[in-house]
Amino acid sequence: MSGAVRRFDVAVIGGGSAGLAASITAARQGARTVLLERQGSAGGMGTAALVHSFCGLYLLRQEPGAVLANPGFCGEIERRMIEATGMGPQRFGRVDVLPQHPVEFARIADGMLAAESGLETRFHTVVTGVEREADGWRIDLADGGRMFCKALVDASGDAVVAGWLGGGFAVAPAAVLQRPAYVFGVRCGAVLDDAGRLRVSGLLVEGLRAGALPSAAMGLSFRASGRPGEVFGSVDLTGGVDGAEFDPLDPACLTALETTGRRVAHEAVRHLAERDPEWMGAYVSHWPARAGIRESRRWIGEHVLTGDEVTAGATFEDQIALATWPMEMRETARGPKLRFPVDDRPCGIPLRCLKPAGLERLWVAGRCISTDHEAQASTRVMGTCFATGEAAGREAAKVADA
Amino acid sequence: MASSKKLSPNPTELIDWMNGEGLLELDWDFPEDGDLFAAGLDSMAVMQLVVAVEDEYGVELTPEDLTKEALATPTTLAALIAGKMS
C-alpha cells in the first residue's frame, strides 16, 4: 500500500501486550483504529521474545488463590490462555503468575484482532517518524506511505514517539538499566523438577569451571514449558559489548545480545545433552525473533510514578489500573531482587502517567509509561501492560470521537 | 587463595556471608533452619553459590552434592561445606 494515504481515528504504534489491548479497546469504543507492528505477530515480548509468563495479572495476597487485579482485558486474555494451555495461575513464593505459551499467544492475539471490524492490523510495518498536525498526527512509514490519525498511542516499549520528537523522556544510567533476557525453546525430555534443575546448575558450573562454557552461562535457567518434551531456557545478560555500556536502543549492542544469547544457549544445551542422561538428544528448537528488553526510554508524563509510591501502595483519584507486581530489580545478570510493597498493597497508576506532558492527542501504554526507574520495575510486566493499554485505548478513542 | 586457612562456617556466619555476596537477601533474623529455596535460592543463585563457596572455602561442590536436602537450610548447607572441607 506504498504511497497511499490512510486516515484513522486512533493509531497504535507497537502490537505488544499494551498495543494489543489499546487497539482492541479503541476499536470497541467505535474508533476506526489501526495497529502498526514491525514483527509478524502481535504479543511483543510475549511472542517475539518468548517471555512465557504473564506477571502482574494478580493481586499480592497471603491467602491461596489468584485474584485478578485489573479485570476487563486481562480477564479475557487470562481465560483464553488457560483454555489454550490447560494451565491456571501458579504461585512462586509470594507471587501468582500465569504461565503462557508464546505460540498460543500469537494465535489468540490474531483471533482477538480479527474479531474487531473497526480495527485494521498491519504487521511488518515500520514507522519512521510522526509529525503533529492541526487535528492529529501524521505517521510516516518505512515503505514511503503515510497515515493520519486523530489520536496516537505510543505502545512501542521504547517510547519511540518521544525519541522522534526529541524530548520528553528519561533513560536510566546504563549501569542500572534492567538487564535483558534471551529466551529460547529447547526440545528435551528432561523432567525439570527440583532435583533436575539442581543437577543442571551443577553441570553448568562444572562446564564453567572447565572453561567449556562462556561466563554468560552463569545467567542461565530452564523451565518446563508445560508441553511434553519442551523446555524454555533463559539467559540474563549483562548487555555490554566489548566493555562498552549496555544501550538497549543501540543496534550494535542489540546485535551483541542476540549473538551472545544464541551462543550461550547452543553451548549450554550441547553441554547438558552430553552429560545428563535426561538431556540426551536435547537441542535448541526455537530462537526468539528478538532478545527480551526490560527497560529503555520512559516517557515523562503529567505524573511520574515513583518507587516510593509503589512501595506505599499509593492511590490516586484518576487511577486507571493497579500495579501489583513487586519491583523486580534486574540491574545485574545475577537473577531478580524483588522489592515488595508495604502490606502487599497494590499501587494505583494515574491516567496522568499515560499522558505525555504538554502533548495533546497522544497517549502512552506499556513499559514506557511515565514512571521512574524503580516503579518501572513493577509496571513493565505484561499483566500491567494489558491494563495500561486498555486505558490508553479507551482514552484515545474519546479524543478521536470529540 | 586463602582457603586453607578458612574454618568451616557455622550457619549464622553463612547467612551473613550469603547476604554479603549478594547471593540472597535474607532478613537479619533469618533462622538457621529457614527454607533457603523459599527465600529465593533459585537455579541461578545455586550456580553463584557454588562458585562463591569455591572462592571462599576452597571447596568444589559437584552436581551430586547439589541435592534439595543438602541446600535446604543454612544448617544443612554449613554441614555440606564442612563435610567437604574435612
| B46–A198 CB contact, under 8 Å | yes
Q: Is A56 on the interface with B (CB under 8 A)?
A: no
Percentage of chain A lying above the pLDDT 70 cut: 98
Mean pLDDT for chain A overall: 95
| B51–A208 CB contact, under 8 Å | yes
Mean pLDDT of A327-354: 94
Domains of chain B: total: 1
CA distances from A152 to A36, A104, A353 (A): 11, 28, 15
In a domain, B17, yes or no: no
Per DSSP (E only), the strands in A237-377 are: 283-286, 298-299, 319-323, 327-329, 337-339, 347-350, 362-364
The whole-angstrom separation of Cα A370 and Cα A354 is 6
Mean pLDDT of A388-393: 98
DSSP string for B54-77: HHHH-----GGG--TTTTSSHHHH
Q: Is B5 on the interface with A (CB under 8 A)?
A: no
DSSP string for A316-341: -TTEEEEE-S-EEE-SSSS--EEEPP
pLDDT, residue A5, reads: 66
Chain centroid to CA A92 = 20
In a domain, B77, yes or no: yes
The whole-angstrom separation of Cα A54 and Cα A145 is 35
In a domain, B24, yes or no: no
Q: In sequence order, which residues have a C-beta less than 8 Å from that of residue A231 and are 6 or more positions away?
A: A185, A186, A188, A190, A192, A222, A223, A224, A225, A282
Name every chain A residue with its beta carbon within 8 A of the beta carbon of B64.
Answer: 202
Asked whether residue B3 carries a pLDDT value surpassing 90, the answer given is no
Mean pLDDT of A4-29: 95
| A205–B44 CB contact, under 8 Å | no
In a domain, B61, yes or no: yes
Identify the three-state secondary structure at position A179. Answer: coil
In a domain, B81, yes or no: yes
Name every chain B residue with its beta carbon within 8 A of the beta carbon of A206.
Answer: 62-63
| A198–B67 CB contact, under 8 Å | yes
The residue among A222, A185, A225, A182 whose CA lies nearest residue A203 is A222
The whole-angstrom separation of Cα A106 and Cα A44 is 9
| A219–B46 CB contact, under 8 Å | no
Domains and CATH numbers, chain A: 5-173+296-401 (3.50.50.60), 181-286 (3.30.70)
The whole-angstrom separation of Cα B51 and Cα B26 is 19
pLDDT, residue A245, reads: 86
Mean pLDDT of A368-385: 98
Interface test with A, best of B21, B37, B44, B77 (most A CBs within 10 A): B44
CA distances from A369 to A79, A357, A391, B56 (A): 26, 12, 12, 43
Grid coordinates given for A287: 530462537
Name every chain B residue with its beta carbon within 8 A of the beta carbon of A208.
Answer: 47, 51
In a domain, B27, yes or no: no
In a domain, B83, yes or no: yes
Percentage of chain B lying above the pLDDT 70 cut: 94
Residue of A nearest to B47 (CA): A201
The residue among A360, A368, A365, A369 whose CA lies nearest residue A398 is A360
How far does the CA of residue B74 sit from the closest CA of chain A (Å)? 17
DSSP string for A111-123: HHHHT-TTEEEE-
Mean pLDDT of A79-97: 95
Specify the long-range contacts of residues A130-135, CB closer than 8 Å, at least 24 apart.
A130/A161, A130/A164, A130/A165, A132/A359
Identify the three-state secondary structure at position A184. Answer: strand
Residue of A nearest to B25 (CA): A337
pLDDT, residue A141, reads: 97
Q: Is B44 on the interface with A (CB under 8 A)?
A: yes
pTM for this model (two decimals): 0.94
> For A310-323, what is each residue's pLDDT tens digit?
999 999 999 999 99
Q: Which domain holds residue B60?
A: 36-86
| A337–B71 CB contact, under 8 Å | no
Q: Is A62 on the interface with B (CB under 8 A)?
A: no
In a domain, B62, yes or no: yes
ipTM higher than threshold 0.90: no
Amino acid letter for position A196: G
The whole-angstrom separation of Cα B9 and Cα B74 is 10
Q: Is B47 on the interface with A (CB under 8 A)?
A: yes
Mean pLDDT of A130-158: 96
The whole-angstrom separation of Cα A229 and Cα A227 is 6
| A202–B64 CB contact, under 8 Å | yes
